[in-house]
Amino acid sequence: MTITETKTNLLNKLGNHHMTEKIVVDNIELLIWNHIYKRNGYDKYPVIMREVDCHRGRADIVCAVIRKNILDYSTLKHLGVSLSQPAKAKILSWFDKRSPNSVEYISKVTGLVEKTVRRHLRDMLELGFVESNANGTWVLSKKFKLPDIEIWAFEVKLHNWKRAFYQALRYRGFSHHIIVVMPAEYSKIPVKNIELFREMNVGLMAIDQQGKLEFIEKPQREKPSSKRHHLYALGQIISEFCRLYPDYQHRKETRLVPQLKRFVCQGLFHIK
């Protein structure tokens, strides 16, 4: 199938009055580069994921970008594997640079048995994420760093904007921006309630039958409300990033993520 045929099929689907939620999600994923990454000055290493479960609901689409190369590939890969394990993410969420933690304390606040806590701490000690003190307490390693990643979470609905709104609120636990996306013809009702979106800092986007995706209300960046869920989300994103960009530290120019390459066309994305 040629690029022209791909674009034609895309627009035909959007013009179909029997549009399904899956079709909307598929096409939003294709359009997201231009409307989130490029227009916000994000020009390095995008990651777009579907149906991401961060234990705060399952987001239809999660977009993220690593903006600074502060870690080598091997360290990133180990970090992604570790944070993708809920227990390790939970344990690390109780650490900071200043305060030492005992195994007993970590077990109490996380609900994990001490044997499990010790096993995960030993794993992270070998990776250089944590350090053990002489008195048996544990601290974050001075070398431990997280990459600079901004996370956007999208909830897509055809009709029920209230359900989409409250589902999107759950994604605040792990993401910096939360956005509800609806077909343009059904976005009129939530527009009438735009003050609610502004008050709760929830973004609203509309996609029309010509394939145009635009912000009706753009959310401000907020710190994720749950460190544990944020770390778990980072683990999944970092693991996907390592899969997509195994040679990222050597690249001098931005490249499209592989799953988007075949859809690039000047009229649709305006990407040089």
The pTM for the full model equals: 0.78
State whether residue 268 is helix, strand or coil: helix
Most confident of 4-13, 20-29, 104-113, 261-270: 104-113
pLDDT in tens, 182-220: 887 766 777 778 888 899 999 998 887 776 777 888 899
Share of the chain above pLDDT 90, in %: 38
Domain with CATH 1.10.10.10 in the chain: 73-140
The fold of 73-140 is Arc Repressor Mutant, subunit A (1.10.10)
What architecture does CATH give domain 3-70+147-269? 3-Layer(aba) Sandwich (3.40)
Distances in whole angstroms, Cα of residue 119 to Cα of each of 91, 101, 110, 139: 11, 15, 14, 15
Give the Cα separation of 213 and 209 in Å (integer): 10
Task: Provide the b/e sequence for 173-189 (b: ≥16 CB within 10 Å).
Answer: bbbbbbbbbbbbeebee
pLDDT in tens, 111-153: 999 999 999 999 999 999 999 998 989 999 988 888 888 899 9
Strands (E), 107-233: 130-132, 138-140, 149-156, 177-183, 203-207, 213-217
